[in-house]
């Protein structure tokens, strides 16, 4: 932690590592939710410790949408990203699918700070292309990770800030409307709300887009009326600037943005004891029968005894908490829970950090259950995965760029 901090202030900030802040009625619930950050102290019995240190992520609709704004340092899924560094966003080809050239869609972010001054605030962001064709291609491209530029449709970005930074107060955020970040962020795309707006509508000169493709999509779905109104407003002398985005709820034009949830965490070990049926899955948004049927349908695609045994083990483990959408464990010896034996990476398949050349380590994995909460259809060509494992720089290195691209390994069903 940064030097000279008061112990009580530091403890208040640690509370943010438990879950997204919500309204006053959520305080008791939040105190019970487990910390997503795992202590990396004792390295003895690494594998056993890793197994017992897994933190599960579940999604829940926030009672107040503003609780997911960036200055509350949320862990969230769907909606638009709450960028940690709101100015120096990823740019160029980083924002696009390398296969089809479409802008990537926001999946989730995990707030996971570390006991390191430069990573007092630390968030990981996951984006992906919504095309299953691209995801299948991505699965082949990931084996080329030692090449200079493999074509990926799933990308992960790490951003970290010290406690004293230009964007947020060094004091823990409050739970009221008076709490705001220190400055506005870059203006975002009016269509997707994710990426920086770099192209301006030639008509109204107000609407901004991350790409020409999103400008065209907005133009085809009703921007003409808004564009006319904005032109009239400009002629009447309203010259307010859209070069920055204040910390307010952003309304985006696209209807394809996934539903927004906060991510809450609980220790997997708390599920490993026998519990009465009426205490299991208390945060259910989807019936357990629906999830179980869908998960078992994946097993029908597997061939070979090794894959079936691996799937049986996988299903037995997640059956303890079938609603989990994320598994987090960033301690030595931690490994993903692979659904199938085929398609697993070896240690040699995981590349080195692109910035410091140090090793990457497993940090978390995204489970297929998230697709149900995103209302993704179970069609042949619909987006689907068995798991997405995220590997990050073991040292959480500092680099000149604000958003460091990390590595994702996709395993399809």
User: How far apart (Å, rounded) are the C-alpha atoms in residues 134 and 205?
Assistant: 34
- Rounded to 5 degrees, what are φ and ψ at 208? -120, 150
Q: Which two tokens stand for residue 171?
A: 């004091």
Cα separation of the two ends of the chain: 42
Query: What percent of the chain has a predicted confidence (pLDDT) above 70?
Result: 74
Q: What is the pLDDT of residues 3-59, one digit of tens each?
A: 333 344 445 555 445 344 344 444 444 444 444 443 444 433 446 677 788 999 999
Q: What is the largest CA-CA distance in the chain?
A: 72
Closest of 313, 314, 362 to residue 336, by C-alpha: 362
The pLDDT, as a whole number, for residue 205 is: 76
Residues for the chain: how many in total? 413
Q: What is the pLDDT of residues 324-350, one digit of tens each?
A: 999 999 998 899 999 988 889 999 999
Alpha-carbon torsion angle 182, 183, 184, 186, nearest 10: -120
Query: What percent of the chain has a predicted confidence (pLDDT) above 90?
Result: 54
User: How far apart (Å, rounded) are the C-alpha atoms in residues 28 and 286?
Assistant: 24
Note whether 136 and 382 are within 8 A (CB): no
User: How far apart (Å, rounded) are the C-alpha atoms in residues 160 and 30?
Assistant: 24
User: How far apart (Å, rounded) are the C-alpha atoms in residues 393 and 113?
Assistant: 13
Closest of 227, 193, 197, 194 to residue 211, by C-alpha: 197
Residue 301 banded pLDDT, cuts 50, 70, 90: low
Mean pLDDT check: name the lowest of 21-30, 186-195, 203-212: 21-30
Query: Is pLDDT of 386 > 90?
Result: yes
What is the pLDDT averaged over residues 307-315?
86
Q: Are β-strands 326-328 and 105-111 bridged in parallel, bridged antiparallel, or unpaired?
A: unpaired
Contacts of 227 (CB under 8 A, 6+ apart): 201, 203, 204, 207
Question: For the whole prediction, is pTM greater than 0.85?
Answer: no
Q: What is the DSSP string of 329-392?
A: --STT-----S-STTPPPGGGSPPPTTT---EEEEEEE-TTHHHHTT----TTS---SEEEEEE
Closest of 348, 340, 336 to residue 307, by C-alpha: 340
What is the pLDDT averaged over residues 229-255?
64
SS3 29: helix
The pLDDT, as a whole number, for residue 390 is: 98
Q: C-alpha distances in angstroms, 35 versus 53, 58, 297?
A: 11, 13, 33
The pLDDT, as a whole number, for residue 23 is: 42
Mean pLDDT of the chain: 81
The pLDDT, as a whole number, for residue 4 is: 34
The pLDDT, as a whole number, for residue 54 is: 94
- Rounded to 5 degrees, what are φ and ψ at 193? 70, 10
């Amino acid at each position: 932690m940064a030097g000279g901090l008061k112990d009580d202030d530091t403890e208040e900030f640690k509370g943010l590592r438990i879950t997204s802040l919500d309204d006053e009625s959520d305080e008791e619930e939040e105190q019970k939710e487990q910390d997503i950050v795992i202590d990396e102290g004792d390295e003895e019995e690494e594998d056993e410790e890793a197994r017992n240190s897994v933190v599960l992520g579940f999604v829940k609709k926030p009672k107040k949408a503003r609780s997911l704004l960036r200055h509350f340092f949320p862990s969230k899924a769907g909606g638009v990203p709450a960028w940690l560094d709101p100015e120096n966003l990823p740019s160029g080809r980083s924002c696009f699918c390398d296969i089809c050239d479409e802008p990537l869609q926001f999946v989730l972010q995990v707030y996971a700070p570390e006991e390191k001054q430069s990573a007092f605030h630390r968030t990981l962001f996951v984006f992906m292309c919504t095309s299953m064709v691209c995801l299948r291609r991505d699965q082949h491209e990931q084996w080329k990770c030692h090449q200079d530029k493999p074509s990926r449709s799933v990308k992960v970005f790490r951003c970290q800030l010290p406690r004293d930074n230009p964007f947020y107060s060094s004091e823990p955020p409050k739970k009221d409307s008076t709490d705001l970040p220190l400055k506005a962020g870059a203006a975002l795309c009016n269509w997707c709300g994710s990426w920086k707006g770099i192209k301006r509508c030639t008509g109204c000169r107000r609407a901004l887009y991350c790409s020409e493709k999103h400008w065209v999509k907005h133009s085809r779905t009703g921007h003409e009326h808004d564009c006319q109104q904005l032109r009239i407003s400009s002629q009447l002398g309203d010259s307010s600037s859209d070069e920055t985005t204040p910390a307010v709820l952003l309304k985006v034009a696209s209807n394809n943005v996934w539903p927004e949830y906060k991510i809450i965490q609980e220790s997997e070990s708390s599920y490993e004891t026998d519990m009465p049926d009426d205490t299991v899955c208390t945060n259910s948004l989807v019936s357990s029968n629906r999830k179980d049927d869908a998960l078992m349908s994946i097993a029908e695609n597997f061939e070979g005894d090794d894959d079936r045994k691996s799937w049986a083990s996988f299903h037995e483990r997640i059956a303890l908490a079938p609603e989990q959408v994320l598994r987090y464990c960033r301690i030595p010896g931690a490994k993903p829970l692979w659904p199938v034996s085929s398609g697993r990476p070896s240690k040699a398949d995981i590349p080195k950090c692109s910035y410091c050349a140090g090793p990457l380590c497993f940090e978390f994995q995204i489970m297929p259950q998230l697709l149900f909460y995103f209302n993704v259809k179970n069609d042949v060509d619909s987006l689907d995965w068995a798991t997405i494992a995220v590997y990050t720089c073991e040292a959480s290195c500092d680099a000149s760029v604000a958003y460091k691209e990390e590595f994702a390994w996709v395993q399809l069903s």
